[in-house]
Amino acid sequence: MNERGVGTDVGADGGAEAGRGVAPDIRTDAVTDAVTDAAPDAKRSLAPGVRLGRLSFVWRPWMVLVTLLLTAATFLVFCVSIGVGDFPIGLSRVIATILGRGEQVDEFVIMDLRLPRALAGLVVGIALGVSGAITQSVARNPLASPDILGITWGAGAVAVFLVTVSGGTATAVVSSVGLSAAALAGGLGTGLLVYFLAWRRGIDGFRLILIGISVSAVMQAITTWLLVKADIRDVARAQVWLVGSLDNRSWDEVRVALWCTLVLLVVVAATAFQFKPMHLGDEVAAGLGVRHSRVRALLLLCAVLLAAVAVSVAGPVAFVALVAPQVAMRLVRYPTPPMVASGLVGALLLIGSDLVARAGLPIGLPVGVVTAAIGGPFLVYLLVRANLRQTDR
């Protein structure tokens, strides 16, 4: 990359970003490899800037085009997912019913039976995608996701504890306390634990991942111990939830998750303006007046809460938060995970996986099985590429 130019501009996601002449302070070879894949043409011309009053940003037509295409693809798969089932409904009838112009029988099937599940997949996918984009950007490592950092397993351990430790009264306890609230509290607590254990005059991405893997292993061990000691009926209920499933989602669960996700996304969008300079390094960000420690902590808190909300609705769905930001980064040809595109890819991946799990296989499977089948090989791919990068050097 050409290192002669110096300057900053404001990206489409908001905030200042590196000009084409300044290489971000990225200390992880895997991220450097991802940057190379995402932006192969290092000599392309600088994108034009746009100023609206005090707000300025860089106009990136390719990023806008890809984002619009991802939005259209997500809506299409969302509608197709609603129409597929024992009572098939055409795409035009699905859209008409969503807009309030459908027949009565279609309204019952869609609004009461299928739409809550589809909306749950949409909300969970967006939450996991944005959460993964934040953690990977803050840690500057493509392996940093809520799955790897132990957040999802922490939420799962607390939820399994609630289900299993009550014995034969699990149903009463879950209905009174709330499985979703337990998972939310578990994810938040685990995220805060990982953050404080990894803190040492700041957050280092490598240390954050190591601490997260350790905490994740502890939470998995606790979960296994609870399942071994529990009643077989409670174990069956907990196992389905642990894999990650969108079955039997209610409107109450979807509404709570939707509003929580919207509030968190607003906070993330407002904070992103100050986060962009941090890609240049903490010293440069501090010179530009950014309180990098506070911004990093706030973004990580939002990422933890987004992941916890997702787990509280669908269980610990594996690998969506890991895969979505990396796929989005390559699609938009951007050197860091883009928030909006990551959320859309996460939603598209989760809804599509649920559609495959319900209609594309001989037997119905939880959505987490399909996402694991996709995410496992992708994780191996990231590790192999990082290893090849080290070998070339």
Q: 249 in a domain, yes or no?
A: yes
Task: Tell me the torsion sign for CA atoms 363, 253, 340, 291.
Answer: negative
What is the spatial distance between Cα 165 and Cα 230, in angstroms, rounded to a whole number? 7
**Alpha-carbon distance values, 257 to 68, 121, 198, 251 (Å):** 24, 11, 29, 10
| Confidence band for 140, pLDDT divided at 50, 70 and 90 | confident
Q: Tell me which residue of 297, 99, 268 sits closest to 192, measured CA to CA.
A: 297
Q: What is the per-residue DSSP string for 73-117?
A: HHHHHHHHHHH-SSS---HHHHHHHHTT-S-HHHHIIIIIIIHHH
Winning range, highest mean pLDDT, from 17-21, 117-121, 196-200: 117-121
For the record, the structure tokens of 310 come out as 């997702």
* Average pLDDT for 355-383: 82
Res 3: pLDDT: 38
Q: Kindly report the CA angle at 202 between 317 and 158, in degrees rounded to 5?
A: 30
Q: 15 in a domain, yes or no?
A: no
Q: What is the residue type of 156?
A: G
Res 384: pLDDT: 80
Asked if residue 98 has pLDDT above 70, the reply is yes
Asked if residue 32 has pLDDT above 70, the reply is no
Asked if residue 130 has pLDDT above 90, the reply is yes
Q: Is 49 helix (H, G, I), strand (E, B) or coil?
A: strand
Give me the percent of the chain exceeding a pLDDT of 90: 22
What is the CATH classification number for the domain harbouring 326? 1.10.3470.10
Bigger pLDDT: 163 or 78? 78
Bigger pLDDT: 43 or 105? 105
Q: 42 in a domain, yes or no?
A: no
Q: Which helix (H) or strand (E) holds 206?
A: helix 205-229
Res 173: pLDDT: 47
Q: 232 in a domain, yes or no?
A: yes
What is the spatial distance between Cα 131 and Cα 338, in angstroms, rounded to a whole number? 11
Q: 248 in a domain, yes or no?
A: yes
Bigger pLDDT: 38 or 391? 391
Bigger pLDDT: 276 or 9? 276
pLDDT digit string, tens, across residues 47-75? 666 666 666 667 778 888 999 999 999 99
For the record, the structure tokens of 45 come out as 């011309």
Q: Is 18 helix (H, G, I), strand (E, B) or coil?
A: strand
Q: What is the residue type of 370?
A: V
Q: What is the per-residue DSSP string for 323-357?
A: HHHHHHHHHHT-SS--HHHHHHHHHHHHHHHHHHH
Give me the percent of the chain exceeding a pLDDT of 70: 75
Give the count of domains, the chain. Answer: 1
The residues pairing with 55 across neighbouring beta strands, listed in sequence order, are 52
Asked if residue 348 has pLDDT above 80, the reply is yes
Total number of residues shown for the chain: 393
8 Cβ contact list (under 8 Å, min separation 6): 16, 17, 18, 19, 22, 277, 280, 288
* Average pLDDT for 91-104: 87
What is the spatial distance between Cα 40 and Cα 34, in angstroms, rounded to a whole number? 10
Asked if residue 25 has pLDDT above 50, the reply is no
Q: Is 9 helix (H, G, I), strand (E, B) or coil?
A: strand
| Choice among 104-113, 196-205, 285-294 with the minimum mean pLDDT | 285-294
CB–CB of 186/155 below 8 Å?
yes
**Average pLDDT of the chain, as a whole number:** 78
- Other C-beta atoms closer than 10 Å to the C-beta of 11 total 22
Range of the domain at 138: 114-392
- Other C-beta atoms closer than 10 Å to the C-beta of 200 total 8
* Average pLDDT for 213-233: 88
pLDDT digit string, tens, across residues 254-288? 998 899 999 999 999 888 777 776 666 666 666 66
Asked if residue 96 has pLDDT above 70, the reply is yes
Res 55: pLDDT: 61
pTM: 0.80
Q: 338 in a domain, yes or no?
A: yes
62 Cβ contact list (under 8 Å, min separation 6): 332, 333
pLDDT digit string, tens, across residues 299-333? 888 998 999 899 888 888 888 998 999 999 989 98
Asked if residue 122 has pLDDT above 80, the reply is yes
Res 324: pLDDT: 92
Q: 47 in a domain, yes or no?
A: no
Q: How far apart are the first and last CA of the chain?
A: 16
- Other C-beta atoms closer than 10 Å to the C-beta of 95 total 15
* Average pLDDT for 129-141: 88
CB–CB of 339/130 below 8 Å?
yes
Q: 97 in a domain, yes or no?
A: no
What is the spatial distance between Cα 57 and Cα 60, in angstroms, rounded to a whole number? 9
Res 29: pLDDT: 46
What is the spatial distance between Cα 63 and Cα 65, in angstroms, rounded to a whole number? 5
